[in-house]
Amino acid sequence: MLFEVRRRHKGIPQFAKHRIVSFAATDCILPQDVVSLAERIASIYAKNGYITAYGIHADRFNVHIHFAVCAVSFQTQNMFHIQWEAERKMLVSVTNQWKSEFDEMLQNNIQMRQSREAALYGDDIVRYGSVPITAKGQMVQNKRAKIGK
């Protein structure tokens, strides 16, 4: 997962914050899968008084959630003042919790996992010898083979 923060110039107030949560192709995630995660994160910002909009898209095989967070609280009219370390910790915690729930759901539902792999990689199962391996499994094997070289 990637969390991105754009740098700003000192002395120039930022009235919106841009945050990005990104997933790797090997995560078997489709854009419609991350709607619940985007809503969870947006609701956390809203509880702190910041209006948040999100957009979800896939760039090649990587799914991204973009957040635009209004830097002025609608509750207090104060500027956004969450420390980046605390904000990143919150994003990592919420995303990891969601990802573990999603991975468990994929493990328990083979048909769902194969349909995601088919949508992402173009095939649901490829046979190598007598052992069926999923597209995700083949990607992991290829990565391990490159590291071993």
Considering the domain architecture, whether residues 99 and 86 belong to the same structural domain is answered as yes
Considering the domain architecture, whether residues 102 and 114 belong to the same structural domain is answered as no
We report the CATH number of the domain holding residue 85 as: 3.30.300
Global pTM?
A: 0.68
Which pLDDT value is given to residue 40? Answer: 95
- Separation between Cα atoms, residue 58 and residue 81, nearest integer Å: 30
Considering the domain architecture, whether residues 86 and 135 belong to the same structural domain is answered as no
Considering the domain architecture, whether residues 50 and 120 belong to the same structural domain is answered as no
37 and 19 Cβ atoms separated by less than 8 Å = no
Mean pLDDT score, 42-60? 89
Helix (H, G, I), strand (E, B) or coil at 23: coil
Considering the domain architecture, whether residues 48 and 72 belong to the same structural domain is answered as yes
pLDDT in tens, 63-80: 899 999 888 887 777 777
- Separation between Cα atoms, residue 21 and residue 146, nearest integer Å: 27
Which pLDDT value is given to residue 147? Answer: 72
Number of structural domains (the chain) is 2
Which pLDDT value is given to residue 148? Answer: 64
* pLDDT value at 111 more than 60: yes
41 burial type by CB count under 10 A (0-12 exposed, 13-18 middle, 19+ buried):
buried
pLDDT in tens, 6-47: 555 566 667 888 889 998 877 878 888 899 999 999 999 998
Which pLDDT value is given to residue 41? Answer: 94
Cβ neighbours of 80 (radius 10 Å): 19
Which residue range(s) make up the domain with 27?
2-108
Considering the domain architecture, whether residues 19 and 75 belong to the same structural domain is answered as yes
Considering the domain architecture, whether residues 46 and 119 belong to the same structural domain is answered as no
